[in-house]
Amino acid sequence: MPPMHIDIQATLRERLPDKSRYIPRFAVRWLERYVCQDRLNDILDAIGDNEGVEAAAISLRELGITVAARGLERLPATGRYIFASNHPLGGLDGLALIKLLGERYGGEIRFLVNDLLMAVKPLEPIFLPINKYGRQSRAGAIAIERELRGDRQILTFPAGLCSRKQGKTIADLEWQKAVVAMAVRARRDVVPIYFDEENSRAFYRNARWRKRLGIKFNAEMIMLPREMINKQGSTLHLIVGDPVPWTTLDASRPVEEAARLRRLVYSLKEQ
């Protein structure tokens, strides 16, 4: 099977069959350059037939990205856990978690993600899709429940979206209460992970203007591939915290408990 390739023009034809022919070629070319289509396809070529943890490792290697992790001694050697992290980058942080935890646990991981990411075929085998913009399918819900009750480690970004600038602080939006419900239901302790990273000023500026203009569509999402490519050759910094026993989580107050886990993650920055 040939490697997956990104083709903006073909995607527009598929998604907008009646309108794509009216989109000027120069606009398509601009979009291809803006999302770094050629560079992304170079990475996909390097991945080839590799999948899962190896695909993530190759992506980071192709980008010259290294991961500096503190608190690795806190990673449990055995057991079933939910690894909950802040989500500052929207891509590289996910790849870093897949590589770090995938290698630590012999590839036995599953990552809860927006179902749109199932289009990233090299990572599809380790993704557990969640429908954020509609009703979760019965098959999807069953698959998630099966994995929660299984032995693989579960990775998640409980905010669902990458961090935004709030006042002078760049941080996740509210964490979704599902992380608490899943931990208690599956009897999994929660391992907090903090990424000390951020995107460009332009990313947060565009997000702020989109919100001011009342545009509900997450338009800045189109910037994430460029944000990833622009971090070529950099080092990502993360900190692992002590596991939070599921028995200490109050399932009757999931919103408050999710907020507590979020605060705990951000407190790792001071350690």
The residues with which 237 forms a beta bridge, in sequence order, are 68
Asked if 232 and 130 count as a contact pair (C-beta separation under 8 A), the reply is no
**Gyration radius from the chain CA atoms:** 19
How many residues comprise the chain?
271
- Is residue 49 domain-resident? no
What integer is the mean pLDDT of 136-154? Answer: 89
Q: What is the mean pLDDT of residues 237-250?
A: 98
How many angstroms separate the CA atoms of 202 and 209, rounded?
A: 11
pTM: 0.92
Given a contact cutoff of 8 angstroms between Cβ atoms, the answer to whether 126 and 109 are in contact is yes
How many domains is the chain built from? Answer: 1
* Residue 1 pLDDT > 70: no
Expressed as residue numbers, the domain containing 256 is 64-270
For residue 145, tell me if it sits in a domain. yes
Q: Is residue 263 part of a domain?
A: yes
Read off the pLDDT band of 135 (50, 70, 90). low
In a domain, 168, yes or no: yes
User: Does 25 reside within a domain?
Assistant: no
Kindly report the CATH number assigned to the domain that includes residue 143. 3.40.1130.10
Q: Is the pLDDT of residue 149 over 60?
A: yes
Average pLDDT, the chain: 93
Q: What pLDDT, on a 0 to 100 scale, did the predictor assign at position 14?
A: 86
Read off the tokens for 61.
């290697």
103-129 pLDDT, tens digit per residue, is 999 999 999 998 888 889 999 999 999
Residue 52 placed within a domain: no
58 domain-assigned:
no
Element (H, E) at 224: helix 224-229
Question: Would 125 be classed as within a structural domain?
Answer: yes
